[in-house]
């Protein structure tokens, strides 16, 4: 049993894939050695780490299903000896009155017999701040940030006490900035006061990293913490862990290099243009050809194979908004998306089968599809390339079970030269 010699300190449950990586990245930067698992593992943990982040896909599934998935993750983490549980959700508190933040939080509290926890999506480094219980995205309230129009989880109220109360049985309260600014003792006193008033879950104000670092010590020993990824910066110190180079150490990199991109975000469009301008070989995929049944995957691999020895190549479906709209108009939004994801995942697999061992993937959904196609079950988290995007190391079935380095970049992350810069950091 590994946890006897190396106790698992923090067991984390993340409600989506790139959110899990974001949390793992913050924990590594604060000095923890972290593994991210894709779903709940079948067997025991076989790595010596301080924290595990179990990545679920539970953000927008029906609440009962999110609860079941989260409890399965909890039970696995408890079996590994986790001392504290961290439920991670989106920094824009993505949820509806049906859930899933409230129902999952309360199910975890019930299972842990825990009568009080906190909730805060604050992540000042990413411009998410909470003041008097109101969530700001950048300079505006959440409900003016564009999130009020989200297709699945429209956020029309920035008052998180109200939002969470609407999806919780327990009474929801607020640890406001007056207490947070005074430090851990004042926060603990406020928690005692709220408990006395029958509050079970408290939203916490935080407008800076200093607020999160003051909050950290007040959470020592709390069985369950619920938050975005920001609160993670203040927790490792509770276990005597300080930032270190060793936390992000990965095995030495080897093998060929490639980038696959299925993201159509503004940032990714710039990154593709930058890679091409740098003179690197790049191949665009045409979704209409895919739909017509052409062997786009085979053609892409045949194109890439002779080039791989000379440095990274890029295969991309990245396109500007009007091109994407026209493809979606002809194929349907979901059909086009799923078809392109499948093709890019098959290309990623083919590249790894041809010796690629350093792979950058752009796109959140695209990353999920690639990780699945590569037969990756868990990722060791390494150093940060850009905020929110670390290099990872993983055993891959496509690599014959041996390891590869992989970076999973969600749409709007990363500098313009990300696709070339990333390899320089290995
Ligand atoms: P992001 O992180 O930027 O949101 P995702 O991979 O999560 O990127 O989502 C992008 C979606 O767009 C995927 O479903 C992908 O398959 C789809 N897609 C990619 N390229 C095209 C294209 N040229 N036309 C239509 N859909 C596309």
Report the CATH number that the domain containing residue 346 is assigned in CATH.
Answer: 3.40.980.20
> Would you say residue 1 lies in a domain?
no
Check whether residue 78 and residue 199 sit in a common domain.
yes
Report the distance separating Cα 99 and Cα 198, nearest Å: 22
Check whether residue 341 and residue 228 sit in a common domain.
no
The yes-or-no verdict on residue 412 having pLDDT over 90 is no
Q: Which CATH number covers residue 97?
A: 3.40.50.10840
Check whether residue 258 and residue 364 sit in a common domain.
yes
> Would you say residue 83 lies in a domain?
yes
Q: What share of the chain has pLDDT > 90, as a percent?
A: 90
Distance 388 CA to ligand 1 centre (A): 19
Residues near 16 by Cβ (< 8 Å), separated by ≥ 6?
55, 56, 57, 58, 59, 90, 364
Tell me the per-residue pLDDT of 151-186, one tens digit each, with 9 for 90 and over.
788 999 999 999 999 999 999 999 999 999 999 999
How long, in residues, is the chain?
426
Q: Check: CB of residue 238 under 8 Å from CB of residue 219.
A: yes
> Would you say residue 155 lies in a domain?
yes
Give yes or no for residue 366 CB within 6 A of ligand 1. Answer: yes
Give yes or no for residue 269 CB within 6 A of ligand 1. Answer: no
Q: Check: CB of residue 291 under 8 Å from CB of residue 308.
A: no
Tell me the per-residue pLDDT of 332-368, one tens digit each, with 9 for 90 and over.
988 999 999 999 999 999 999 999 999 999 998 899 9
Give yes or no for residue 11 CB within 6 A of ligand 1. Answer: no
**3 state SS of 7:** coil
Place 24 in a pLDDT band, splitting at 50, 70 and 90: very high
Place 2 in a pLDDT band, splitting at 50, 70 and 90: very low
Place 5 in a pLDDT band, splitting at 50, 70 and 90: low
Task: Please give the residue range of the domain that contains residue 416.
Answer: 250-424
> Would you say residue 5 lies in a domain?
no
Check whether residue 33 and residue 121 sit in a common domain.
yes
Q: Check: CB of residue 390 under 8 Å from CB of residue 381.
A: yes
Instruction: Provide long-range contacts, Cβ within 8 A and 24+ apart, for 180-185.
Output: 180/204, 180/205, 180/206, 180/211, 180/214, 180/215, 181/211, 181/214, 183/214, 184/214, 184/215, 184/216, 184/217, 184/218
pTM metric for this prediction:
0.91
Tell me the per-residue pLDDT of 263-284, one tens digit each, with 9 for 90 and over.
998 899 999 999 999 999 999 9
- Which residue owns the Cα nearest ligand 1 atom 23? 317
Check whether residue 163 and residue 265 sit in a common domain.
no
pLDDT at 3: 42
From 205, 222, 243, the end of a domain falls on 243
With the most atoms of ligand 1 within 8 angstroms of its CB, the residue from 59, 271, 317 to mutate is 317
Check whether residue 165 and residue 231 sit in a common domain.
yes
Distance 264 CA to ligand 1 centre (A): 6
From 223, 243, 263, the end of a domain falls on 243
Task: Give whichever of 96-100, 194-198, 401-405, 413-417 has the largest mean pLDDT.
Answer: 194-198
Question: What tokens were used for 310?
Answer: 């000379």
Q: Check: CB of residue 131 under 8 Å from CB of residue 205.
A: yes
Secondary structure element (H or E) that encloses residue 14, with its range: strand 10-14
Q: What is the mean pLDDT of the chain?
A: 95
pLDDT at 413: 86
| For residues 3-30, average pLDDT | 88
Check whether residue 147 and residue 236 sit in a common domain.
yes
Place 226 in a pLDDT band, splitting at 50, 70 and 90: very high
Residue with tokens 């959904």: 365
Tally of domains in the chain: 2
Which ligand 1 atom is nearest residue 262's CA? 19
Place 47 in a pLDDT band, splitting at 50, 70 and 90: confident
Place 380 in a pLDDT band, splitting at 50, 70 and 90: very high
| For residues 41-54, average pLDDT | 92
Q: Please name which of 129, 120, 132, 127 lies closest in space to residue 89, comparing C-alpha atoms.
A: 120
pLDDT at 272: 98
Which ligand 1 atom is nearest residue 319's CA? 23
Check whether residue 318 and residue 279 sit in a common domain.
yes
| For residues 399-411, average pLDDT | 93
> Would you say residue 4 lies in a domain?
no
- Whole-angstrom CA distances from 278 to 17, 274, 290, 400 are 31, 6, 28, 33
With the most atoms of ligand 1 within 8 angstroms of its CB, the residue from 263, 285, 369 to mutate is 263
Distance 339 CA to ligand 1 centre (A): 10
Check whether residue 22 and residue 168 sit in a common domain.
yes
Q: Check: CB of residue 204 under 8 Å from CB of residue 119.
A: yes
> Would you say residue 347 lies in a domain?
yes
Distance 365 CA to ligand 1 centre (A): 7
216 burial level (CB within 10 Å; 0-12, 13-18, 19+):
buried
> Would you say residue 3 lies in a domain?
no
pLDDT at 4: 43
From 212, 243, 274, the end of a domain falls on 243
Place 301 in a pLDDT band, splitting at 50, 70 and 90: very high
The yes-or-no verdict on residue 104 having pLDDT over 90 is yes
Report the distance separating Cα 418 and Cα 211, nearest Å: 31
Q: Check: CB of residue 73 under 8 Å from CB of residue 58.
A: no
- Which residue owns the Cα nearest ligand 1 atom 4? 411
Distance 335 CA to ligand 1 centre (A): 11
Question: What tokens were used for 289?
Answer: 């050809």
Question: What tokens were used for 1?
Answer: 């049993």
Distance 366 CA to ligand 1 centre (A): 7
pLDDT at 388: 84
CB count in 10 Å sphere of residue 242: 9
Check whether residue 229 and residue 316 sit in a common domain.
no
Tell me the per-residue pLDDT of 113-135, one tens digit each, with 9 for 90 and over.
999 999 999 999 889 999 999 99
Check whether residue 110 and residue 173 sit in a common domain.
yes
> Would you say residue 2 lies in a domain?
no
Check whether residue 215 and residue 286 sit in a common domain.
no
């Amino acid at each position: 049993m590994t946890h006897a010699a190396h106790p698992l300190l923090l067991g984390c449950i993340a409600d989506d894939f790139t959110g899990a990586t974001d949390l793992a990245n913050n924990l590594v930067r604060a000095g923890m050695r972290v593994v991210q698992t894709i779903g709940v593992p079948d067997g025991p943990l076989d790595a010596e780490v301080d924290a595990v982040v179990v990545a679920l896909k539970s953000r927008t599934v029906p609440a009962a299903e999110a609860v079941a998935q989260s409890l399965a993750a909890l039970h696995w983490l408890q079996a590994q000896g986790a001392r504290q549980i961290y439920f991670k959700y989106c920094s824009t508190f993505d949820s509806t009155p049906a859930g899933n933040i409230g129902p999952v939080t309360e199910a975890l509290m019930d299972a842990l017999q825990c009568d009080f926890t906190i909730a805060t999506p604050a992540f000042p480094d990413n411009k998410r701040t909470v003041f008097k219980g109101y969530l700001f995205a950048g300079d505006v309230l959440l409900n003016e940030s564009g999130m009020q129009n989200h297709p699945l989880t429209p956020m029309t109220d920035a008052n998180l006490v109200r939002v969470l109360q609407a999806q919780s049985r327990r009474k929801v309260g607020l640890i406001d900035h007056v207490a947070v600014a005074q430090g851990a003792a004042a926060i603990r006193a406020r928690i005692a006061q709220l408990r006395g008033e029958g509050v079970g879950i408290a939203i916490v104000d935080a407008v800076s990293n200093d607020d999160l670092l003051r909050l950290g010590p007040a959470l020592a020993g709390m069985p369950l913490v619920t938050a975005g990824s920001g609160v993670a910066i203040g927790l490792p110190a509770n276990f005597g862990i300080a930032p270190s180079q060793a936390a992000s150490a990965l095995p030495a990199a080897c093998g060929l290099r490639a980038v696959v991109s299925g993201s159509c975000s503004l940032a990714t469009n710039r990154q593709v243009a930058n890679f091409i301008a740098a003179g690197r070989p790049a191949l665009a995929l045409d979704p209409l050809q895919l739909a017509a049944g052409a062997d786009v995957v085979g053609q892409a691999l045949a194109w890439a194979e002779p080039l791989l020895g000379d440095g990274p190549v890029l295969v991309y479906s990245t396109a500007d908004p009007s091109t994407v709209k026209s493809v979606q108009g002809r194929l349907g939004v979901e059909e086009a998306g799923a078809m392109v994801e499948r093709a890019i995942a098959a290309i990623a697999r083919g590249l790894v089968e041809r010796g690629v061992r350093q792979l950058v993937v752009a796109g959140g959904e695209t990353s999920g599809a690639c990780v699945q196609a590569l037969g990756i079950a868990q990722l060791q988290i390494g150093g940060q390339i850009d905020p929110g995007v670390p290099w990872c190391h993983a055993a891959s079935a496509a690599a014959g079970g041996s390891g590869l380095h992989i970076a999973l970049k969600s749409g709007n992350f990363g500098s313009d030269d990300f696709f070339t810069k990333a390899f320089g950091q290995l």
